[in-house]
């Protein structure tokens, strides 16, 4: 395998904070781009987010979104800071921000403002609600988008309150969505010499995650409800089941897997039950199916069931955070890595999920605030 990362030679300037922008540009950094965080003198506010600090102007929260990046401090609103920023733009391929919709125009960091410096520059804007509507000036965050897009109302137990996903998935998806658009336009710019603006926003991305329940409503008027046990809306058994020591998630997405489950559980009598004959009848009789399967699942531990299924059907343990990160499989696949860090010696991190020629990209910590200010003088 070549040691050259695929984005080597690409320079990205980022004016970003918290999650959405930083998550997308972190992937670019780990795939070889030189990603330079252009920070205000007091830095990305997420550097100060606790509870686990890494000395002055750094934290584990911050590093989770910013691995592999360099840091330059500039006051874009000052004459000197603007001149230094523009010098960097002339050397860059991309400029990324995740500000409120009207801010890129006001700060002159959109394509119309920068094209005279670098006609091929690609400018990615990740805002809360977009740059050209009545909410362009609204602040917005991940959890609000999960709420307004209907995702919270789809999540959780029917008898409980609407529930958000436990982490900021809309931030992450927005960062990745924006990066896909950015890379596509960067490819075009390398051929044509013509840059552009690329836009996405948290609201649009959250709405896009509605996928098939969204199409069911738009075309059939069907409003999907919350389903007990985190079950699939139209297939069964696809849900959690209680075991002797915890929970297991079973996904019989096909008739083949249903047959494998019945055989592994030694419950062949279920095959002749007309309520469970096929996916449609099982979904229609989900409560009765759950009642029939629960007692059998409770006879073994989660680990024992997984050993018995042994890849015959899709199944997974329902883990706590510590169990997930400390699992033998996570360890064997290399999903936990470590990078040097001056405050800890070694900082354990989540490994990049991409493999190139079978290997994960190497990782490093984000630079301390302003550590790469010399890059401005070199530009």
Global pTM reads 0.95
The CA–CA distances, whole Å, from 343 to 30, 60, 61, 89, 251 equal 21, 11, 14, 32, 43
Exposure class string for 73-82: b at 16+ Cβ within 10 A, else e? bbeeeeeebe
Residues 109/121, Cβ–Cβ less than 8 Å: no
CA angle centred on 117, ends 113 and 118, rounded to 5°: 100
Per-residue pLDDT of the chain (379 residues; tens, 9 = 90+): 456 799 999 999 999 999 999 999 999 999 999 999 999 999 999 999 999 999 999 999 999 999 999 999 999 999 999 999 999 999 999 999 999 999 999 999 999 999 999 999 999 999 999 999 999 999 999 999 999 999 999 999 999 999 999 999 999 999 999 999 999 999 999 999 999 999 999 999 999 999 999 999 999 999 999 999 999 999 999 999 999 999 999 999 999 999 999 999 999 999 999 999 998 899 999 999 999 999 999 999 999 999 999 999 999 999 999 999 999 999 999 999 999 999 999 999 999 999 999 999 999 999 999 999 999 888 7
CB atoms closer than 10 angstroms to residue 262:
18
């Amino acid at each position: 395998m070549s040691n050259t990362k695929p984005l080597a030679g690409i320079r990205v300037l980022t004016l970003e904070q918290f999650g959405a922008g930083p998550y997308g540009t972190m992937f670019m950094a780990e795939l070889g781009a030189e990603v330079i965080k252009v920070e205000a003198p007091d830095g990305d506010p997420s550097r100060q987010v606790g509870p686990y600090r890494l000395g002055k102007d750094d934290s584990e929260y911050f590093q989770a979104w910013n691995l592999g990046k360099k840091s330059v401090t500039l006051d874009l609103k000052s004459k000197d800071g603007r001149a230094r920023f523009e010098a960097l733009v002339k050397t860059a391929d991309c400029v990324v921000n995740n500000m409120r919709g009207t801010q890129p125009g006001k700060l002159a960091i959109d394509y119309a403002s920068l094209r005279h410096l670098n006609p091929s520059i690609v400018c990615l804007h990740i805002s809360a609600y977009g740059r050209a509507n009545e909410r362009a000036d609204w602040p917005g965050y991940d959890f609000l988008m999960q709420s307004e897009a209907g995702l919270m109302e789809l999540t959780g137990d029917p008898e409980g309150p609407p529930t958000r996903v436990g982490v900021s998935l809309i931030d992450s998806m927005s960062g990745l969505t924006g990066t896909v658009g950015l890379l596509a336009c960067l490819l075009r710019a390398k051929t044509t010499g013509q840059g552009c603006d690329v836009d996405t926003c948290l609201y649009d991305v959250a709405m896009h995650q509605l996928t098939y329940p969204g199409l069911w409503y738009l075309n059939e008027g069907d409003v999907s409800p919350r389903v007990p046990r985190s079950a699939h809306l139209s297939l069964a058994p696809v849900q959690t089941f209680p075991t002797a020591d915890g929970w297991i998630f079973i996904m019989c997405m096909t008739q083949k897997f249903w047959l494998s489950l019945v055989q592994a559980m030694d419950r062949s009598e279920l095959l002749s039950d007309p309520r469970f004959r096929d996916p449609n009848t099982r979904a229609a009789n989900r409560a009765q199916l759950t009642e029939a399967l629960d007692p059998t699942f409770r006879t073994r531990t989660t680990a024992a069931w997984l050993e018995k299924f042994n890849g015959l059907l899709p199944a997974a343990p329902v883990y706590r955070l510590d169990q997930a990160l400390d699992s033998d499989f996570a360890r064997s696949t290399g999903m936990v890595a470590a990078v040097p860090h001056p405050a800890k010696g070694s900082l354990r991190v989540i490994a990049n999920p991409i493999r190139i020629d079978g290997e994960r990209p190497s990782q490093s910590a984000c630079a301390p605030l302003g550590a790469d200010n010399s890059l401005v003088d070199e530009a």
